[in-house]
Structure 1
Amino acid sequence: MKIVLLESLAVSDEVLQKYTRDLEQKGHTFCAYSRCDDEAALCERAKDADILLLANMPLKGSIIRQCTHLQFIDVAFTGVDHVDLQAAEEMHVAVSNASGYSNESVAELALGMTIDCLRNVEAVSARCRHQGTKEGLVGRELGGKTVGIIGFGKIGRRAAELFHAFGCPILAYDSNPIAQMPDYVQQTSLDELLRHADVVSLHCPLVESTRGLMNAERISMMKHRAILINTSRGPVVDSQALAEALNSGHLAAAAADVFEMEPPIPREHPLLNAKNCLVTPHIAFASEESMLRRAEIVFDNLYAFLHGEQKNVILPR
């Protein structure tokens, strides 16, 4: 089979060769490319592939439909909203993801962003660099603050564990039933969570029911001086509504690792110009450890598929 990696997996050549050596010995062809956003060039690279590997680059239906040999799309990411699943289903192409590779990295960043917002770390760092003091920037402690987790999957569950370790009461909401709820977590409705949480941390996937979930109405329901953390998907939040809530002082702070588009983010984006908004260029998943886990999962998916099985199924073979 021809196996094409469309973008870097952010691991060393030695790690990549460890996983691809057996492929070549068994007669498969493996081609690795750097990321390319030109559709014609991307199509040329992909069109003869039996298997495509990619991380978070968009894979449009117009490309998938031209890949007449394609059997399997192996996504090195948890979310798959950047892949046209309808086109994949039409072409009878199986799709798997790298579920679980970034649980720790994302949960840790959500916690870190929360502390940053509560303690005004970004602002006081800038103040210090300009020979200033803490005047007017005394922060708040995390311990004892009620944390609301929206989306109680693997990442949300791990985030809850970390916040609980800091002495935070935990509220959780998920549109699906939550199995094996920890005894320190109180499951509640979305509205109740928004009304009572001092910190709201988003960990839900991007599907139609979550697109625009945190709109102006729901943001207005949040407690005065609450904090909103988004390490999930950008379109889950109405950025303009969030910026207005920050600029008006309704929310004390927010942190966004994700936006409606992938970085670079336009200078005029409302969250880049809002008060007390910590922004990062989609780094929650990206740690040395998570990249190694991701490569392991992706190639485990690949070898399973070559042996007639499928793991981490999004669309079955």
Structure 2
Amino acid sequence: MSNGRFPIQTVNAISPVGLQRLDRDIFDLGTDIAEPRGILVRSADLHDRPVPQSLYAVARAGAGTNNIPVDKLAALGIPVFNTPGANANAVKELVIAGMLLAARSLYHAADYTRNLVAEQGLSGQALNEQVEAGKKQFAGFELPGKTLGVIGLGSIGVLVANAAQSLGMKVLGYDPAVTIKNAWQLSPNVEQVESVEELFARSELITLHVPLIDSTRGLVNTERIASMPRGAVVLNFARGGVVDETAVLQALDSGHLHAYVNDFPTEAGAVHSRVITLPHLGASTGEAEDNCAVMAVDQLQDFLLNGNIRNAVNYPEVIMARTPGTTRLGIFNANKPNMIGQITAVLAEAGLNVAEFTNKSRGDYAYTLVDVEGEVRDELKEQILAIDGVIRARKL
């Protein structure tokens, strides 16, 4: 930062509803900033981009962070923020729409009707007769009484489960790491099962709301599909890789699955008669883009100005109110023994009184916020950085 300003690079087009929340007396915005303190991104791939030494944080206006080198940035003391829940309603509505599309074969029925006119040139009585003759092939089923299995009870999964339950469906949920907050928001009529295998075996429709990591890749596979009732439906608005598409297409061809609805087009899936594949529409609403931008901007701004970390995917959540009349230090370090003791020892040797202090860890890394009374000289930062295990230190 120079002259007390924070340059922010916008890699993608970010909703102005979010950008207008930045104080332009403090923040500079641009797409071609060479030495940014923060980066705002949506879907652009950052993996092959060099990491500027000036960079303090990356904020993703969306939930997934597969396009960001999260681990690499963590090792450099750079938190990566995402926006869980900001697009949850948009995805929830798409999932409900997907269930209705599959249950009533609406996509293919509409395509059939369009072709009667556009391709066959039918009209009048001939069109009416062909419509009546062909509609039987699109007979579907109703959702009330059907069992929906929801894998992943985060912000989106909870909304989907509650909405499906209100439609009269029986809902099963599976998430071994469901948070207390999300558990409280989940309808008490949603049954949480003990294993993903139980959920597959009991569900007539499955919807996925999990990140793409090693443990979820190919989560929907041949064995689990086979355990589902005949005529089941799989919906995937999470990530393409959580479904073994070859296994799904084989189950569709055999008639074991009724339909596969997804948001991740492939050459094979896009042309299959029992697949409804959409062009990655999950968060493609104006409201969701605004919500994501607001949340990403607020988190980035709070970190740059106050050192607070909210919704980082590679560092713990650390939030501490500023203590009046103090200087704040933000310290990133490896999660190893005696780090707190060494940091506080340096502060004590400098004659600085600690007014407030908090430290939390997550995996291999930890983060400390400390408000100190007294003058913080530049050499103090160098002394802290000299501690074995300290990655980065900031004076705010």
Aligned to 2:347: none
Alignment partners' CA distance in 2, 1:176 and 1:143: 29
The one of 49, 53, 59 equivalent to 1:63 is 49
Of Structure 1 and Structure 2, the greater strand share is in: 2
The alpha carbon displacement at 1:63 in A equals 2.0
Partner of 1:100: 85
In structure 2, distance between residues paired with 1:204 and 1:215:
15
1:48 aligns with 2:35: yes
Give secondary structure in 2 for the equivalent of 1:274: coil
Shift of 1:7: 0.5
Q: Deviations over 1:70-126 (max 9, x none)?
A: 110011111112211111112211111112111111111101100100001011112
Find the partner of 1:8 among 13, 24, 30: 13
Structure 2 matches for 1:134-283, cutoff 5 A?
134-177=135-178, 179-180=183-184, 182-188=187-193, 189-258=195-264, 265=265, 269-283=267-281
**CA contact 2:154–2:178 (8 Å) conserved in 1:** no
Rounded to whole Å, the distance in 1 between the matches of 2:262 and 2:34 is: 36
TM-score of the pair, normalised by structure 1: 0.86
- Per the alignment, residue 75 of structure 1 pairs with 60
Q: Secondary structure at the match of 2:260?
A: strand
Once the two structures are TM-superposed, the CA of residue 177 in structure 1 deviates from its matched residue by 4.6
Query: For residues 17 and 173 of structure 1, what CA distance do their matches in structure 2 show?
Result: 37
| Structure 1 segments of 4+ aligned residues over 6 angstroms from their partners | none
**Where in structure 1 are there 5+ consecutive unaligned residues?**
33-44, 259-264
Contact 1:46 1:67 in 2 (8 A): no
Say what the alpha-carbon RMSD is for the aligned residues: 1.8
Contact 2:18 2:290 in 1 (8 A): no
User: Partner of 1:294: helix, strand, or coil?
Assistant: helix
Aligned to 1:18: 20
SS of aligned partner of 2:136: coil
Q: Could you tell which deviates more after superposition, 228-237 or 202-211?
A: 202-211
- The DSSP-based 3-state class of the residue aligned with 2:259 is strand
* Matched-pair contact (CA < 8 Å) for 1:243–1:275: no
The structure number with the bigger radius of gyration is 2
Please give the secondary structure, in 1, of the residue aligned with 2:313.
strand
Give the TM-score taking structure 2 as reference length: 0.69
Q: 1:185 to 1:3 in 2, by over 3 A?
A: same
Contact 1:240 1:271 in 2 (8 A): no
- Cα distance, 1:257 vs structure 2: 0.7
Shift in Å, 1:227: 0.3
Q: 1:47 to 1:244 in 2, by over 3 A?
A: farther
1:287 aligns with 2:288: no
- Give deviations 1:227-265, integer Å, cap 9, x for gaps: 00001111100111111111221100110113xxxxxx5
State the partner residue of 1:117.
102
Higher RCO structure (Cα 8 Å, ≥6 apart): 1
Structure 1 residue 158 displacement after superposition: 0.3
Q: In structure 2, what residue type is equivalent to 1:25? A: D
Taking the aligned partners of 2:105 and 2:97, their CA distance within structure 1 comes to 12
In the TM superposition, residue 275 of structure 1 has moved relative to its aligned partner by: 2.7
Aligned-pair distance for 1:161? 0.9
Q: Return the alpha-carbon distance in structure 2 between the equivalents of residues 67 and 116 of structure 1.
A: 46
Give the Cα separation in 1 of the matches to 2:178 and 2:10: 36
Letter in 2 for 1:285: A
Does the Cα contact within 8 Å between 2:91 and 2:237 map onto a contact in 1?
Answer: yes
Could you report, residue by residue, the CA deviation over 1:41-84 in whole angstroms, capped at 9, with x for unpaired residues?
xxxx4752221110122210x424x4211110011111112211
Alignment partner, residue 307 of structure 1 = 305
Q: Which SS does the other structure have where 1:136 is aligned?
A: helix
Unaligned runs of 5+ in 2: 1-5, 117-126, 316-331, 333-396
Letter in 2 for 1:274: H
Alpha-carbon contact 1:46-1:52 (below 8 Å) kept? no
SS at match of 1:201: strand
May I ask how many residue pairs the two structures share in their alignment? 289
SS in 2 for 1:229: strand
The residue type paired with residue 244 of structure 1 is Q
Q: For structure 1, which segment, 71-80 or 297-306, has the greater mean C-alpha deviation from structure 2 after superposition?
A: 297-306
In 2, distance between residues paired with 1:210 and 1:57? Answer: 23
Conservation of the 8 A alpha-carbon contact between 1:47 and 1:68: no
CA deviations 1:265-289 (Å, max 9, x no partner) are: 55xx221132311110111111121
